[in-house]
Structure 1
Amino acid sequence: MLDIRGVDLPLLVSLDVLLEEKHVTRAAARLHLSQPAMSAQLARLRALFDDALLVPADSGRGMLATPRALQLQAPLRTALAMLGQAVRRDAPPFDPRTAERTFHIAGNDNAVLMLMLPVVQQVAAFGGPGLKLAFRTPEPAQLAGQMERGEIDLLVGGSRFVPATLDKSPVLLVEHRMAQRKGHPRGTGPLDLDSYCALRHIVVSTNGSFHAFMDEQLAQQGRTRSVLIAVAQYNLVPPMLAATDLVCTLPSRFLERFEGQLDTFDLPLSVPALDLSLAWHPRSEHDAGLRWLREQVVASSQGMPQ
């Protein structure tokens, strides 16, 4: 068996060209070598494979490949093409129609629906059978390690929750509004700060805390509110609101999907918008597939109202 460790790559490139040209002088010209240098390489190849590889044609024009050379030609060409693809400076383009790839995406249900739903529609409509998206709930304590190990490809969520070790790109700013059920006893008048704080609230909190983003904003003004319910998923909130007199402050784009069930209102204080971003590990910066996925998210988010 031939030991590949003892083979110079340029020697195999020369063999590939020799087998295609079947002429030492023409092969030398293609590789910018002298004819004696090309002949010397052919001699080394014959010794390496213990076969003549190319013999003079009876006509005196060119050379004929031996059976051993003919066996080598196709796999050698394939191997060199694959090696060339692996070391090329620019990654090959990503084609969703032919790709065999599963993207692992971490994000809460709100961020996934706001940023990824259009991409899910594109993959379902135009992606090939080998292209898959796997969504999972982020684990903040594990996230940086999971992305470093390649267990998660992309994080979607609020910019303030992105670990400092990741690259990120802001995608969408979303304002907050307060929501209540249709027919709520409060009525549909505008909110003031006193009435907002007096209402009973639901918060979304992955760790079960009753102190959330809005409580931080109220604390800056020396105010507090009454929080009765903490849930881990945004999609649990609308049915709870519809069945009670509780209220909740949520991103406006999330609430748009529940216009038939809920009334929404401007907040009585100024709060920062939700800054949704994409984040990925720096080693994946030039990953053609991941770049394609990020571009789809950004393209689908452009022009989205807040």
Structure 2
Amino acid sequence: MSDQPPLSRLDLNLLVSLDALLTERSVTRAADRLHLSQPALSASLARLRTHFNDPILARTGNSYELTPLASRLSEHTAAALDAARRVFESQAEWDPRQSTREFAIFGSDYSFSTTGRRLASLAAERAPGVRFRFMLHNPQIVEDAVNRLRGADALLMPHGFLTDLPFTDLWTDSWVVIAAEDNPAIGEVVTLENVARLPWVFTYQSRSAFTSATRQIQQLGIEPRVEAVVESFLALPMFIAGTDRLGLVQAGLAEYARNTVGVRVYEPPFDAIPIHNAMWWHPVHRRDPEHEWLRTLAAEATTGLGEATA
């Protein structure tokens, strides 16, 4: 038998205290955050130390630091607390017009500037009390999406990176090449010779973080000369203007790129694979009426978005 006490014998209020202690790293500040007395929170810390057989907070000089175990717990506590809140906030009948729910969504700045912007705008019309928290993803979040999406509502990402998760298809985009207007090596069109000879700025370049178009260039037998990597599609034009570099952005950002001083937009000199944007989510949300509303709204909000950016 397990030595751990059954869940029914644990006070779930300790999860709230633990989250505050891990965030504030101070009993005083954590107590203020929770509007509790310092002795009350000190008692909670004592119970947590007994449960985990670990100090949780270790004094270093005049301050406290998280123990190694506490650092590991901090990765899971906020998600567990959020999941617990979702359980007890669930309702048999849900009216989006009366809701104050916050939806937490991972994605890139491209996803937020296109899908996220439209989703939030439509939601403001249909459910003015609903809020969104758009959080930038990173390779670690994408690689651990199954676990990360237990504590979040969705991940906005094109097909080709995730498997074994339910998804809602949204809209299809394409790729464009951007270059400085005064780049003397480029005429009216970008050629494959330009692609091979000119330096590049990539948005992502790792085993799990890449774009389909940059992979496609390599599959053409061209190894791009990458001078810079910036993990932001919106920042990419800033690294192109006034240089001889090339970059790839989605057509959905083409207008933004054109409005960046000294940047011109071109069609790629190869048949770039389309971008099939989707909303990915964890199976625990399958029968959640609030989440179903979110998925339906996202699909509606992005209807025609591909045509609008063509």
* Same fold at TM > 0.5: yes
Summarize the alignment of residues 216-255 of structure 1 with structure 2, pairs less than 5 Å apart: 216-255=215-254
> How many residue pairs end up in the alignment?
213
Bigger-Rg structure (1/2): 1
1:199-226 CA deviation, whole Å, 9 max, x = no partner?
A: 1111011759997533421232222221
SS in 2 for 1:219: helix
User: In structure 1, what is the equivalent of residue 50 of structure 2?
Assistant: none
Q: Secondary structure, in 3 states, of the residue corresponding to 2:170?
A: strand
Q: Distance in 2 between matches of 1:124 and 1:227?
A: 41
CA shift in 2, pair 1:206/1:111, >3 Å: farther
Equivalent residue number for residue 155 of structure 1: 155
Structure 1 position 269, deviation (Å): 1.1
Match of 1:283 in 2: 284
Q: Distance in 2 between matches of 1:258 and 1:185?
A: 19
Deviations 1:25-49 (A, max 9, x none): xxxxxxxxxxxxxxxxxxxxxxxxx
- Between the aligned partners of 1:100 and 1:278, the Cα distance in structure 2 is 22
Mapping 1:81-230, distance limit 5 Å: 92=93, 94-125=94-125, 127-129=127-129, 131-138=130-137, 139-148=141-150, 151-162=151-162, 164-205=163-204, 213-230=212-229
Contact 1:104 1:153 in 2 (8 A): yes
- Pick closer, same or farther for the CA change 1:134–1:191 going to 2, 3 Å: same
Alignment CA distance shift 1:293-1:208 (3 Å)? same
Shift of 1:178: 0.3
Provide, for residues 261-296 of structure 1, a one-character-per-residue CA deviation record: whole Å limited to 9, x for no partner: 321111111121111111111121121111111122
Q: Deviations over 1:50-83 (max 9, x none)?
A: xxxxxxxxxxxxxxxxxxxxxxxxxxxxxxxxxx
Indicate conservation of the 8 Å contact 1:178/1:264, yes or no.
Answer: yes
Moved over 6 A (4+): 208-211
Q: What is the rounded CA distance, in whole Å, between the counterparts of 1:189 and 1:183 in structure 2?
A: 12
Could you tell me whether the CA contact under 8 Å between 1:207 and 1:232 is conserved in 2?
A: no
Contact 1:105 1:135 in 2 (8 A): yes
Q: Is the 8 A contact 2:203 2:210 kept in 1?
A: no
* Separation in 2, partners of 1:224, 1:249: 15
Q: Kindly indicate whether the alpha-carbon contact (under 8 Å) linking 1:104 and 1:133 is maintained by their aligned counterparts in 2.
A: yes
C-alpha distance 299-226 of structure 1, shift in aligned 2 (>3 A):
same
TM-score w.r.t. the length of structure 2 is 0.62
Q: Counterparts of 1:277 and 1:194 in 2: how far apart (Å)?
A: 33
TM-score by length of 1: 0.63
Q: Which whole-Å CA distance do the structure 1 matches of 2:145 and 2:165 have between them?
A: 10
**Matches of 1:197 and 1:113, distance apart in 2:** 30
Structure 2 CA distance for partners of 1:260 and 1:208, relative to 1, 3 Å: farther
Q: Are the structure 2 counterparts of residues 295 and 232 from structure 1 closer, same or farther at C-alpha, using a change threshold of 3 Å? A: same
